[in-house]
Amino acid sequence: MNVTRVDAASFGSRLYLARLARVQERFAARLHAELPAVAIERRYRVVLDALAVSVPAEHLARVERMAGVADVYPVAIYHPLTDTVPAMVGAVPLWGADRSTAGAGIKVGVIDDRLLIVGSANLNDHSMFNDTEAALVTDDAELATATRHRLWGEHLECSTAEASGDATDLIDQVWRPRCEDQFERRRAGRPMTHRITRIDGASRRSARLLGPLQGLLVDG
C-alpha cells in the first residue's frame, strides 16, 4: 500500500494554508461582529478546516446557521454550580449586618471589551506577587462590555444607553473635557460640578525613581 505524506512546507501547501488563513480570518471577523460573546480558542488548518470556539449556550443555534459553518461538534458543556458565591466564601458575615463594607477595596478592570477582572488585586507587581489577593477574571466579552457601559454611565452621570456609544467619541467629547474642567475648578478652589477629574501626572524625576522602588518592593 502506497502512503502519501502531506508536506506542509511545500510551496503548494503554503499557498493553500495562506488562502485558508484568509478565509478563516474573514469568518472570525464576521463571527465577532455578529456574536461578540463567542471566543475563538484554537484554529485548525492542516488536518481539517475548523475553529474551536467557546459559545454561550443561547448563541449556539446562531453559530450553526452562519454561512460557512458545515457542522458543530460540542466537546464540553459547562453549567454554573452556584450563584451564591458571597455566602459560600463567607463574605456576608465580614460585610456586617448593614453591608457597609460590601465592595470596599474592589477594583474593576475592562480590557478591550474582551477581558474583565474584578477583585482586590491592584494591577501592579507588588499586589500580584507579594500581597494576598483574590480576583475573578473572565473572557466573556458580552459581560465585559456591559460592565464598562454601566460603569461609564455611573461615572459620567448618564444612562447606560448614552454610555454605550462609540468609545473614542465618548473619551474625546465627554471624558477628557469634563475631567479637564473639573481639574481646573478644583485647582482654582471652586466646587466641582461632576464626580470625575484629571489626576496630576508624575514628573520625569519621579518616574526615574520607579525602577529602584520596584526593585525594593517586588520580591518576585
Residue 201 has pLDDT above 70, yes or no: no
Q: What is the pTM of this model?
A: 0.50
State percent of the chain over pLDDT 90: 23
**Domain containing residue 155:** 106-217
Under 8 Å between Cβ of 116 and 138: yes
Query: Distance between CA 125 and CA 215 in Å, rounded?
Result: 10
- pLDDT value for 134: 81
Under 8 Å between Cβ of 205 and 211: no
73-108 pLDDT, tens per residue?
888 887 777 666 666 666 667 666 677 777 777 889
In a domain, 79, yes or no: no
Higher pLDDT, 178 or 216: 178
Whether residues 46 and 110 share a domain: the answer is no
- pLDDT value for 37: 83
Higher pLDDT, 39 or 7: 39
Burial class, 123, CB count within 10 angstroms (exposed 0-12 / middle 13-18 / buried 19+): exposed
Out of 25-29, 55-59, 101-105, pick the least confident.
101-105
In a domain, 130, yes or no: yes
In a domain, 77, yes or no: no
In a domain, 96, yes or no: no
Number of domains in the chain: 2
Compute the average pLDDT of residues 162-185: 90
- pLDDT value for 23: 92
Whether residues 51 and 128 share a domain: the answer is no
pLDDT band, residue 181 (cuts 50/70/90): very high
65-75 pLDDT, tens per residue?
999 899 998 88
In a domain, 146, yes or no: yes
- pLDDT value for 220: 47
State which amino acid sits at residue 72.
Answer: V
